[in-house]
Amino acid sequence: MADIVPTSASILVSTGLAAESTGGAAAQLEREVVQLFDAFRKPVLRYLLGIGLPVEDAEEIVQEVFLALFQHLRRGKARHNLRGWMFRVAHNLGLKKRKQRGMIPGAVGQHPVADPSPNPEDQYANAQQQGRLLAVVNALSEQDRACLFLRAEGLRYREITQTLGMSLGAVSISLARSIARIGRAAER
């Protein structure tokens, strides 16, 4: 069969010199950021989905967050509370993305969750309970929802205040309000 040369392709040849010039410190920093990526990618992604972003946008934002983290560390900036820093950057980028897309804060949990339970009655009961829970979460204010999802990812209240720009008292009131609503929904 005749061979076909299908396209002209772009020229892009990278050399290993760049890696050499940046030295061991840069490589070490890259490894550190990859470790943080492995540890926090999922929590940050979940948070972004929680505030209503689609998966594709959330993944793009996560890339931006960790590249920003890389730059942050390269500049020798503060290393304390990197977890709070990552969520703060993710939150701000998430709001920006939603604005760009003209999105109204979307409902969460629109995709059904696979239930591993083999018992149909259990499945039904779990789906009912989860449906009630998600309905309550969807009805929360945007700030209450953000607060709740940050708490679900294990952030301390002080980290939540820094991420959302709320006072400590406002965080505890918001969380207590959300949890009371979820609890009432679960009782029904």
Partner 1 sequence: MEREKFHLSDEELLMASDGELSPRSAKNVQSHLAACRSCRARMRVIEETIADFVDASQAAFDSRLPLAAGPRALLQAQMAAIAATHPSRRLRWTTWSPWVLAAACLAIICVSVSLIPRGGRSPRHAVVVIPRSNLTPGAVVLVSKEQVCTGEHANNRPVPVSTRRRVFQAYGIPDADARSYEVDYLITPALGGSDDIHNLWPQSYSASAWNAHVKDQLEEQLRGMVCSGDLDLTTAQREISRDWIAAYKKYLHGTTQR
The window from 83-91, 93-101, 117-125, 174-182 that contacts partner 1 (CB under 8 A) reads 174-182
| Interface with partner 1: number of residues (CB under 8 A) | 74
Residue with tokens 């929680």: 50
The window from 18-26, 83-91, 95-103, 117-125 that contacts partner 1 (CB under 8 A) reads 18-26
x/- mask, partner 1, residues 90-119, rule CB under 8 A, reads ------------------xx-x-xx-----
Q: How far is the CB of 166 from partner 1 (least distance, A)?
A: 14
Contact between 169 and 161 (Cβ < 8 Å): no
Pick out residues in 21-60 that bind partner 1 (CB under 8 A): 21-22, 25-26, 30, 33-34, 37-38, 41-42, 45-46, 49-50, 55-56, 58-60
> Could you write out the DSSP letters of every residue in 46-107?
HHHHHTT--HHHHHHHHHHHHHHHHHHHHTT---TTHHHHHHHHHHHHHHHHHHHTT---PP
Q: Which residue, 101, 87, 27, is CA-closest to 57?
A: 101
